[in-house]
Structure 1
Amino acid sequence: MSDTFMKEKPIFPLLTSMALPMVFSMLVNALYNIVDSLFVARISEDAMTALSLIFPMQNLVNAIAIGFGVGINAQIALHLGAGSRDRADTAATHGLVYSLLHGAIITITCIAIAPHFLSMFTQDTSVIQMGTTYATIAFSFSTVVMAALAFEKMYQAIGRMKITMIGLLAGSLCNILLDPVLIFGLGPFPQMGIAGAALATGIGQMLTLSVYLIFYHRISTPVRIRRRFLRPNPKMDWQLYAIGIPAILNLALPSILISFLNSLLAAFSQSYVVVLGIYYKLQTFLYLPSSGIVQGMRPLIGYNYGAGESKRVRRIYQLTLLLCAGILAVGTVLCVLLSDGLIGLFTTNAETIAIGQTALQIISIGFIISAVSVATSGALEGLGMGVQSLVISLVRYCVVIMPLAWLLCRIMGPTGVWHAFWLTEVVAAVISVVVYKKSVKLS
């Protein structure tokens, strides 16, 4: 299949055809995250606390995998748009090699520091033990995660969204099916508790990678991993990391934020820490589908920018913004009307449910306006402007929200943390518009 359809096909059907497979797969991925947490919550509230505390580390690993994958994606799309197939192949080849190296380093580092990281937030030995068990198993699959994301972004860069959809669906559904089997020991399988949840996740990730490899060897694609492009190429490596590092930081910043907010909320009650963890699980149902729209947009905006199609670039960005806002509007309604029921899925503790209901209703005020920063950040990454995208994320996750949460927490108590979310989204939206207009010069 020729890749020129990305600059020839009408924009709305093109964007939806690229985005919908990713939205669907992201929804299933979000469902897996929810189901995983639901089963862990059935073990005990300590298990849910352990999962909430280890989440920032998991998010950091995913940030490195996805963020560097964004660099791979952008370089492939830009070079294909400019008609340079060899450079696109070089980007794919070097991207995979470095992804495997990242995975090996992360496995060793994260397993070593997990117990110390957990002890920063709790002295409960049961929570630390369960968190360490989960981390040891989950992070053992880091190399698999990195390789899978490298292939995923390669397929997305050439418009093969259905392949990534199949891979993500296979892994997520496998995880959902294995969770109760391995956690509770159904049939011939032993009861593994929280270790079973981690193992189910790892097996699902292996299945996703296997699907990508099968497709790679069975079908013809315009971009290939080639041995002859393994030779050193400092310019290409710099370009991959110049986009990948800001994208990694974009995705890693929530880990820093969550850890910071956990330290604020833990001073009041463990219930607040649990609610924050539940919120970040629930919001995946909104932001992962929005991410699916952005993933469909990135190769299109990069390809058309590389091909000099300014009008199409502008229209792709506008449609992405509109679609993301629609998804987040639905989320706002659900969180306002069903907040107690959503929190009640994860806990029967009346205090935790009451805290969570308040949190969801306040935080959701900023959902729709956050579409501006989500779409803009993704567009800048697709255009190879990783540093500009990072500026937006720094505002959302550090520069504004952290000092604001600290201040409001002292004025309003823990409820002030929830208000810091929507106030930050307003500031981030304004800055996003300014950064985009100054960075993207279209004729």
Structure 2
Amino acid sequence: MNVNLLSGPIRPQLIRMTLTLMVGMLTMMSFNLLDTWFIAQLGTRALAAISFTFPITFSLISLTIGMGVGTSAILGRYLGQGREEEAKRKALSAILFAFGFMVVGGGAGLLWSEPLFVAMGADADALPLILSYMHIWFAGCGLLAVSMVGNAIFRAFGNTRIPSGIMVAASLVNAVLDPVLIFGVGPVPALGIQGAAIASLLSWACGCGLMLWMLWFRHRLLSWRQFDRYGLSDGREILRIAMPAALANMLTPLATVLLTAFVARYGQEAVAAYGVGSRLESVACLFILSLSMSLPPVISQNSGARQLARVAEAYRSALQMVLMIQLAIYLLLLLGSPWIATAFSDQAEVQRLLLQYLWILPLGYGLQGVIILTSSSLNALHQPRLAFGLSLLRFFVLFVPLSCLLGYGFGLFGMFIGGVVANLLGACLAYLWFNSTLRRLTLESV
């Protein structure tokens, strides 16, 4: 089960793991985009409502992403040192802690969802739609946590095939249920935006069940051995990396909240266009996301084995790949932008603003990828504070200030230009930051 990441050519290993993950991620992201398209058929009001939910859902998802980052980094180091049984015990702690944190977060969301969305700028028309969606989402988000941390456990062991398969299965369930529950079929009533939330909940339940079966019974990667003695300390060890990583990930939706509030000044059409653009970004950056999941196990296992030359090689290879792939994706988006705009809205203003988004912001996706991969690499090296500092710099020293500054001067066009400039500056600083850290760790290991 434990795939050897400590020897052999690094680039083929990264490509194999990343492409396998991309199958599952592409399926999941495509069906999320399809979910947005179904909701768009309900009208601009529904599309604007779902756009308001994205920063909040991503905030809680960021918590489990952080748990996954901490899990992968800790397990990878123990596996690199040949301590597999301890890694399995820590994997169980990660699952339980992630589920608990997500349940608490979902409960808080149920209590305070209305004042939260009002503070974000949701009006009286959008608020009932938002709450009908989010109350179901909050109630079931613990199931999503189990699946996401389970994915990280498999990746830490070098296996990306099983997580990919589970993502495909859960996404297919969501895709089949979405139109049935949103628009109604036969005896099933049309539930609108609430139906989309129920479809997500049922798909999470399927993914959670499959993940636990694979982890516990099929591959036996969870262990109760000495859990009563070390469970809490294992959890604290994971949280030492997980919490800074979660906070760093939560900066993304926080920045999105601020930028969405800025965009809302230009009307509901601008919010709708920005929401669609954000969902499209998640698909366009699929390679970045997949590579940011496959790179850390390679780095953490090799750093655990003190093979820092292979760490440097893995990092350089990842950056080269992400810059080339994202440039190609930008050109494809540029060519397909007129079709994309008409596919998601029949309103001329929404189409115009979405075209503007697609012509400018994707130009910086490769640079954004450099920052994301650097952050995940620093976490894999057990440098969570540096990773958090990089994320803080990216969003609140560069991205939000530059976007808003140019936005005030030149409208949404200026806001999008500011985002590209911020990604360029952030990528340069990230590259220098990582190499400085690796040189320091190399000197300390001598």
Alignment map for 1:232-311 (pairs within 5 Å): 232=230, 235-311=233-309
**Deviation for aligned residue 1:286:** 2.2
In structure 2, what is the Cα distance between the partners aligned to 1:330 and 1:419? 20
Letter in 1 for 2:428: V
Q: What SS class does the counterpart of residue 367 from structure 1 fall into?
A: helix
Whole-angstrom CA distance in 1 between matches of 2:52 and 2:226? 44
Please name the residue that 2:139 is paired with. 140
Report if aligned partners of 1:90, 1:230 keep a CA contact under 8 Å in 2: no
C-alpha displacement at 1:118, in angstroms?
Answer: 1.8
> Which residue of 2 is the match for residue 320 of structure 1?
318
Residue of structure 1 aligned with 2:374, choices 376, 380, 389: 376
1:422 to 397, 420, 423: 420
Distance 2:103 2:137 in 1: 13
Distance 2:102 2:50 in 1: 21
- Aligned-pair distance for 1:8? 2.4
The CA RMSD measured in Å over matched residues stands at 1.7
Counterparts of 1:2 and 1:430, CA distance in 2: 35
Q: Answer whether contact 1:81 1:303 (CA < 8 A) is retained.
A: yes
Q: Write the distance in 1 (CA, Å) between the matches of 2:86 and 2:383.
A: 19
**Comparing 243-252 with 158-167, which one deviates more in the overlay?**
243-252
User: Which is worse superposed, 80-89 or 430-439?
Assistant: 80-89
The Cα offsets for residues 326-348 of structure 1, whole Å up to 9 and x where unpaired, read as 33112211232222322222211
Deviation at 1:2, TM superposition (A): 4.2
Kindly indicate whether the alpha-carbon contact (under 8 Å) linking 1:340 and 1:356 is maintained by their aligned counterparts in 2: no
1:196 aligns with 2:195: yes
Structure 1 residue 76: Cα displacement: 0.5
Q: Contact 2:73–2:382 at 8 Å: present in 1 too?
A: yes
Return the offset for 1:302. 0.5
Alpha-carbon distance between aligned partners in 2 of 1:16 and 1:230, rounded to the nearest angstrom:
39
Secondary structure of the structure 2 residue equivalent to 1:125: coil
CA distance in 2 between counterparts of 1:259 and 1:174 reads 30
The CA deviation string for residues 386-439 of structure 1, in whole angstroms up to 9 with x for no partner, is 121122211222221222222212211232211121011011111101210221
What residue ranges of structure 1 are gaps of 5+ in the alignment? none
Residue in structure 1 matching 2:435, options 434, 437, 441: 437
* Cross-structure match for 1:214: 213
Give, in angstroms, the shift of residue 34 of structure 1.
0.6
Which amino acid counterpart does residue 377 of structure 2 have in structure 1?
Answer: A
**Aligned residue for 1:399?**
397
How many Å apart are 1:211 and its aligned residue?
Answer: 1.4
Alpha-carbon distance in 2 for matches of 1:384, 1:403: 29
Partner of 2:334: 336
Q: 1:404 to 1:195 in 2, by over 3 A?
A: same
String of CA shifts for 1:10-44, please: whole Å, max 9, x gaps: 32222222221111111111101110100001111
C-alpha distance in 2 between matches for 1:124 and 1:209: 35
Q: 8 Å contact 1:406–1:417 — kept in the other structure?
A: yes
Question: Structure 1 234/210 Cα, relative in aligned 2: closer, same or farther at 3 Å?
Answer: closer
Q: Cα distance, 1:66 vs. partner? A: 1.1
CA contact (8 A) 2:75 2:90 kept: yes
Matched residues, percent identical? 24
8 A contact 1:24–1:289 mirrored in 2 = no
Alignment-mate amino acid for residue 314 of structure 1: A
Displacement of 1:86 = 3.9
SS at match of 1:9: coil
Q: Which residue of 2 aligns with 1:154?
A: 153
Q: Per-residue CA shift, 1:267-309, capped at 9, x if unaligned?
A: 1222211121111100111223311112111111110110112
Distance 1:191 1:363 in 2: 36
Partner of 2:384: 386
Residue 233 of structure 1 and its aligned partner are, at CA, apart by 5.6
1:361 corresponds to which residue?
Answer: 359
1:92 and 1:65 map into 2 onto residues whose CA distance is: 14
- The alpha-carbon deviation at position 232 of structure 1 amounts to 5.0
Measure the CA separation in 1 of the matches of 2:19 and 2:314.
Answer: 15
Q: Which SS does the other structure have where 2:6 is aligned?
A: helix
**Retained in 1: the 8 A contact 2:368–2:427?**
yes
The superposition leaves residues 342-364 of structure 1 with CA deviations (integer Å, 9 ceiling, x where unpaired) of 22222111011111111221212
Aligned to 1:47: 46
- Report the residue type matching 1:393 in the other structure: S
d(CA) in 2 for partners of 1:354, 1:15: 39
1:84 aligned onto 2:83: yes
* Aligned residue in 2 for 1:119: 118
State whether residues 40 and 48 of structure 1, in contact with CA within 8 Å, keep that contact through their aligned partners in structure 2. Answer: yes
Distance in structure 2 (CA, Å) of the matches to 1:276 and 1:267: 12
Q: Distance in 2 between matches of 1:108 and 1:2?
A: 37
Is the Cα–Cα contact under 8 Å of residues 250 and 390 in structure 1 kept in the other structure?
A: yes
Equivalent AA in structure 1 for residue 378 of structure 2: L
- TM-score normalised by the chain length of structure 1: 0.95
Aligned partner letter, 2:347: N
Aligned twin of 1:408: 406
Count of residue pairs brought into register by the alignment: 441
- 1: CA distance, partners of 2:309 / 2:284: 29
Q: Sort the Cα spacing of 1:293 and 1:107 in 2 relative to 1 into closer, same or farther, 3 A.
A: same
* Alpha carbons 2:51, 2:272 under 8 Å: kept: yes
- CA distance in 1 between counterparts of 2:277 and 2:331 reads 15
Answer yes or no: is the 8 Å Cα contact 1:290–1:327 preserved in 2: no
Question: Which sits farther off after the overlay, 404-413 or 191-200?
Answer: 404-413
Q: Does structure 1 retain, via aligned residues, the 8 Å contact 2:363–2:420?
A: yes
TM-score by length of 2: 0.94
Checking the alignment, whether the CA contact within 8 Å between 1:369 and 1:426 is kept in structure 2 is yes
State the partner residue of 1:129: 128
Q: 1:100 to 1:355 in 2, by over 3 A?
A: same
2-structure distance, mates of 1:425, 1:12: 25
1:72 Cα deviation from its structure 2 partner: 0.8
What amino acid maps onto 1:413 in structure 2? G
User: In structure 1, how many angstroms separate the alpha carbons of the residues matched to 2:148 and 2:129?
Assistant: 27
Answer yes or no: is the 8 Å Cα contact 1:19–1:293 preserved in 2: yes
Cα gap change, 1:304/1:232 in structure 2, threshold over 3 Å: closer, same or farther? closer
CA contact (8 A) 1:121 1:266 kept: no
Question: What is the distance in 2 between the residues matched to 1:370 and 1:146?
Answer: 26
